[in-house]
Amino acid sequence: MRAAVFAEVGRVAVEERPAPAREEPTDVVLDIEACGICGTDLQILGVPPGHPATVGVVLGHEFVGVVAEAAEDVGSPRPGDRVVVAPNVSCGRCPWCRRGLSNHCESFATYGITRDGGLAPRVRVRASACHPIAAHVPAHLAALAEPLSTVVHGAQVAGVFPGETVCVIGAGPVGLMFTALLTLGGASVVVVEPAPRRAGLAAELGAVRVVDPVREEPRSIL
Ligand SMILES: [Zn+2]
Ligand SMILES: [Zn+2]
């Protein structure tokens, strides 16, 4: 199969790779439907890299696919099930994991960064990383489940209440998802964004005011 690989510092290459097969009883193999490109991917490919990654890995950590080969545990997704993947893998056994801080896991790994990811026709992942998704969700939207999950977590940490005014700085994909989510949650969202296309999308998604920081001083408005 052809896969987009982190070939060396500063370079992505489409390379021929053997299709992955299950190795552990808990593995599943997915046929990829769609995979996003994250700002982190761009940082990985910076010179020097702005984010660590393993040279040679298949990139892509925002993906949706259909189970081609299922794990042995009957409770896991079955062949034909459509799933999105939580790409961060932790062991569940080390002291950090036991404290609930799985993001500090001693053997932390991420599909698409330190293990092969979704910019390929097929990928091997743990069954426990798979989350079922409805058949009617278009693949290009389902691939946004991973960045959306970080936005939902961020919104929970921010603890914005309905009726409050909140400022979102930057209307890239994540900023736009914050704008939509916080607006739906009842907040008034002011967005700071200089690029006209992104500013327009922020307004479409519910921003009550979009500030161009080149022309206006955001602090005077907030
Ligand atoms: Zn990402
Ligand atoms: Zn751990």
Which ipTM was obtained for this model? Answer: 0.94
Cα 41 to ligand 2 centre (Å): 24
Cα 37 to ligand 1 centre (Å): 8
DSSP state of 165: E
The ligand with the least distance to the CA atom of 117 is 1
Cα 147 to ligand 1 centre (Å): 6
- Beta carbons within 10 angstroms of residue 193's beta carbon: 25
pLDDT at 20: 97
Start-to-end CA distance of the chain, whole Å, equals 52
Cα 74 to ligand 1 centre (Å): 30
The ligand with the least distance to the CA atom of 118 is 1
Buried b (16+ CB within 10 A) or exposed e, 129-140: bbeebeeeeebe
| SS3 label, residue 113 | coil
Separation of alpha carbons 49 and 65, rounded Å: 28
- Count Cβ atoms within 10 A of the Cβ of residue 149 and give its class: 0-12 exposed, 13-18 middle, 19 or more buried: middle
pLDDT at 30: 98
Record the tokens describing residue 166, joined without a space: 């909140």
Name all domains of the chain by residue range, CATH numbers in brackets.
2-142 (3.90.180.10), 146-221 (3.40.50.720)
Cα 2 to ligand 1 centre (Å): 22
Q: Which residues are placed with Cβ below 5 angstroms of ligand 2, an ion?
A: 90-91, 94, 97, 105
Biggest CA–CA distance in the chain, Å, is: 60
Record the tokens describing residue 132, joined without a space: 């079922």
pLDDT at 75: 79
Cα 105 to ligand 2 centre (Å): 4
Cα 165 to ligand 1 centre (Å): 27
Record the tokens describing residue 95, joined without a space: 């002291």
The ligand with the least distance to the CA atom of 43 is 1
Cα 144 to ligand 1 centre (Å): 9
Record the tokens describing residue 78, joined without a space: 């079955």
| Tens digit of each residue's pLDDT, the chain (222 residues) | 999 999 999 999 999 999 999 999 999 999 999 999 999 999 999 999 999 999 999 999 999 999 999 988 767 899 999 999 999 999 999 999 999 999 899 999 999 999 999 999 999 999 999 999 999 999 999 999 999 999 999 999 999 999 999 999 999 999 999 999 999 999 999 999 999 999 999 999 999 999 999 999 888 887
Q: Is 28:122 a contact under the CB 8 Å cutoff?
A: no
How far does CA 213 lie from the centroid of its chain?
28
The ligand with the least distance to the CA atom of 89 is 2
Cα 153 to ligand 1 centre (Å): 14
DSSP state of 214: T
Cα 179 to ligand 1 centre (Å): 18
Cα 103 to ligand 2 centre (Å): 8
Cα 23 to ligand 2 centre (Å): 20
Separation of alpha carbons 116 and 32, rounded Å: 13
